[in-house]
C-alpha cells in the first residue's frame, strides 16, 4: 500500500490587541499547544504552519490601519509562541476587514490545491468601523483564494451579529471567563519530560544556538501561562507537528532537509566535528531513538492526563463552550473534515 502523504494546513491567527483584550491574548498563550495537539490527531498527518497578526493597537502604524504582521506562516511553532508573548495591549481603532485583507494578501500561503487555509480573527469592537473595506467583500475575496475566514466575537452573540461580525464563519466567546485549564497530577512529570526531550536536539548551522535557546525560552513561557499550558506544550513536542529542521540536525536529517555527509565541520556542533562520517550518522540515529523513547513516554502520560481532565471537568460541571481555544478547535476540526481529514478522537 502506498504511503499516505502529509497534507498542508496553513493557519493565520489575527488578534485584537486594544486595551480590553488582555484576556484574549492570555487565552492564546495558554491554549496554542492544545490547538496543536488537536491537529496532531488528524489523518493524513498535517504539515502545520501558523502565522500571527495583531490589530487595533495605537502603537501600530496608522497609515496601514493599525494592522501588523507579527509572524509569517511558519512551521517553527516556538517562534510563533514567542511572538505571542511579545504582544501587549494599547487602545486603538479596530479594522477587522483590514486585518483579514492583510493576512489574505501578505502571508505566504501554500499553493498546493489540497491545502487547508484558515484565518481566525478575534476581537470585541464593531466590525463596521472600517469605512474603506467591508467585511463581507473581504471574506468573499479570501474565499476566492481558497481561504476560509472565521470571525470570533468576544461578547454576546447578538451584539456580534448587530455589529457586523457575522459575515465570516461566526462564533462568539466570553473572554472574561478565561479558558478552562485543569491542573492534574501528571503536569509536573510531563513538563520534566518536555525538558528532557530538549537534550535530544542537536543544534547546527548559523541558527542552531538561537533555536536551542528559543526552545528553552518557550518552555519557560508556557510554564508562566500555567502548569496545564506547560503540560500541553510537552505533549505537542511529542508530535510530528513540532518540527525544527531549520536548526535541529536530527529533524533535518529525518526530514531529508540536509545531507549529513555534505555538511561542513564548522556547521556541526563541537562534539561532532572530530567524528568520522559513520560516527556522525550513528550519533544522529542515537539521538532520534532517544527522542522517540521520550516522546512515547510523554504520549502515554498525556493520555492519562486527558482522561483525568475529562473526568474532572465532568465532576466540576465545567464547560469550554465559550472559550477561545474551543471555538478555534471546533472550527478547525469541522473545516478539516470538510477537506477529507479525519480525527482519531
Q: Across the chain, what does the average pLDDT equal?
A: 91
Tell me the CA distances in angstroms from 159 to 62, 124, 153, one per residue in order: 27, 10, 9
User: What value does the mean pLDDT take over residues 163-169?
Assistant: 60
27 vs 156, more confident? 27
Asked if 318 and 182 touch (Cβ cutoff 8 Å), the reply is: yes
The reported pLDDT for the residue numbered 60 is 94
In order of their start, the domains of the chain are 7-179+319-343 (3.40.50.410), 187-316 (no CATH)
| 2-13 pLDDT tens trace | 567 899 999 999
Asked if 151 and 172 touch (Cβ cutoff 8 Å), the reply is: no
| 268-300 pLDDT tens trace | 999 999 999 999 999 999 999 999 999 999 999
Burial 63-75 (b: 16+ CB within 10 A, else e): eebbbbbbbebbb
The pTM of this model reads 0.91
> Can you give the length of the chain in residues?
345
Identify each DSSP E strand in 133-179 by its residue range: 147-154, 169-173
* Residue 17 reports pLDDT greater than 90: yes
Q: Which three cell numbers stand for residue 77?
A: 511553532
| 222-258 pLDDT tens trace | 999 999 999 999 999 999 999 999 999 999 999 999 9
Percent of the chain's residues with pLDDT above 90: 74
Amino acid at each position: 500500500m502506498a504511503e499516505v502523504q502529509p497534507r498542508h494546513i496553513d493557519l493565520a491567527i489575527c488578534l485584537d490587541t486594544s486595551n480590553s483584550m488582555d484576556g484574549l491574548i492570555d487565552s492564546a498563550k495558554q491554549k496554542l499547544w492544545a490547538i496543536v495537539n488537536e491537529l496532531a490527531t488528524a489523518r493524513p498527518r498535517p504539515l502545520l504552519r501558523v502565522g500571527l497578526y495583531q490589530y487595533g493597537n495605537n502603537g501600530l502604524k496608522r497609515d496601514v490601519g493599525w494592522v501588523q504582521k507579527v509572524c509569517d506562516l511558519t512551521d517553527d511553532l516556538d517562534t510563533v509562541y514567542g511572538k505571542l508573548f511579545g504582544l501587549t495591549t494599547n487602545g486603538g481603532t479596530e479594522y477587522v476587514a483590514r486585518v483579514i485583507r492583510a493576512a489574505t494578501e501578505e502571508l505566504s500561503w501554500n499553493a498546493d490545491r489540497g491545502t487547508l487555509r484558515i484565518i481566525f480573527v478575534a476581537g470585541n469592537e464593531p466590525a463596521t468601523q472600517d469605512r474603506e473595506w467591508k467585511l463581507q467583500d473581504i471574506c468573499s475575496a479570501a474565499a476566492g483564494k481558497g481561504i476560509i475566514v472565521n470571525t470570533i466575537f468576544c461578547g454576546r452573540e447578538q451584539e456580534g451579529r448587530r455589529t457586523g461580525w457575522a459575515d465570516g464563519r461566526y462564533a462568539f466567546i466570553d473572554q472574561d471567563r478565561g479558558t478552562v485549564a485543569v491542573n492534574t497530577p501528571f503536569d509536573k512529570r510531563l513538563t520534566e519530560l518536555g525538558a528532557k526531550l530538549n537534550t535530544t536536539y542537536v543544534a547546527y548551522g548559523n541558527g542552531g544556538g538561537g533555536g536551542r535557546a528559543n526552545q528553552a525560552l518557550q518552555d519557560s513561557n508556557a510554564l508562566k501561562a500555567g502548569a496545564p499550558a506547560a503540560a500541553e506544550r510537552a505533549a505537542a513536542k511529542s508530535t510530528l507537528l513540532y518540527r525544527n529542521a531549520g536548526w535541529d540536525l536530527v529533524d533535518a536529517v529525518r526530514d531529508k532537509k540536509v545531507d549529513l555527509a555534505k555538511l561542513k565541520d564548522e556547521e556541526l556542533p563541537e562534539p561532532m566535528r572530530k567524528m568520522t562520517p559513520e560516527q556522525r550518522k550513528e550519533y544522529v540515529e542515537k539521538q532520534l531513538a532517544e527522542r522517540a523513547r521520550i516522546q512515547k513516554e510523554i504520549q502515554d502520560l498525556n493520555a492519562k492526563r486527558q482522561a483525568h481532565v475529562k473526568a474532572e471537568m465532568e465532576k466540576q460541571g465545567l464547560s469550554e463552550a465559550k472559550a477561545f481555544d474551543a471555538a478555534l478547535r471546533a472550527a478547525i476540526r469541522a473545516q478539516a473534515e470538510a477537506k477529507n481529514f479525519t480525527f482519531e478522537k
